[in-house]
Amino acid sequence: MKKKRKKIDLHMHTTASDGALTPKELVQKCLEFDLDVFSVTDHDNTTALRELEKEADKYPIEFVPGIEISTYRGEAEYHILGYYIDPENEALLGLTETILESRISRIHKMIEILTEMGYPLQYSDVQKYAAGVSIGRPHVARALIEKGYVENMQEAFTDKFIGGEGKAYVEKEKVLPAEAIEMILKAGGVPVIAHPYLINHGDPLDKKEIARLKKVGLKGVEVYQTKHDKKTTSKYKKIAEELDLLITGGSDYHGENSPGILPGDCGISRKEFRKLESFAASMV
């Protein structure tokens, strides 16, 4: 039985962070999969958003500007999505610049560890795969594949190499969730917790923790996600409804950097989208 795809996918990435497709290529991919609405939430930067907006305007498809900010509560890594943000907001840009500078330092440290492990790399080996301003683990993984140290992306993201518990894993700049939420709100955006079941170096978020985030400004929960099974999806939908939070969802598509995931694999209904859209409009 052919899988029924969603028409509204609010979680995707381009070459501006760790996606494999350029903004123009991603718009074409969304059209190929017959999406009505899409959002790009590149990690810790907004550099592709103006180009995406301009490209999407050429076609019968709606674009929602977004971002995904990596934050920490202790050792646990929380990703905070922001929808309908102003890409040129000074407060948000200040935060992203700090994070991007730390990403470069992080990659240098990973390369140093991998080299000491017997898998020598140069920064240039990794940088050539980072077409945008944001450089991350998928780019390291592609360099490892090119050198013949691993066979594929999955092997690179194991504990042996750069997985979340990997020997060469290095933590990111520790921005607090409340700080990211505040910056998204200042940029006119709607802050949402991404894939609450998948928290690197931490346990899945429960209702109590999501309620705590709501107190500091969180407005929604990414309920529908390729990282969530049906039981998990039902759990977080119930939590979102009980806490009166918006429901969002998306595929987390990265092109070839996310094998097996395609646009529209996860998403939200038109009714759920209209609630998000209306809420964002009410904040202006």
pLDDT tens string 116-156: 999 999 999 999 998 777 788 999 999 999 999 999 999 99
CA distance 9 to 249: 7
Neighbours of 267 (CB within 10 A): 26
- The third-level CATH classification (topology) of the domain covering 8-88+174-282 is TIM Barrel (3.20.20)
pLDDT at 100 over 90: no
231 three-state secondary structure:
helix
CA distance 193 to 200: 13
pLDDT at 1 over 70: no
Please state the domain extents for the chain. Answer: 8-88+174-282
In angstroms, how far is the first alpha carbon of the chain from the final one? 44
pLDDT tens string 51-72: 999 999 999 999 999 999 999 9
Average pLDDT taken over every residue of the chain? 95
Q: What is the DSSP string of 109-136?
A: HHHHHHHHTT----HHHHHTT--SS---
Question: Whole-prediction pTM value?
Answer: 0.84
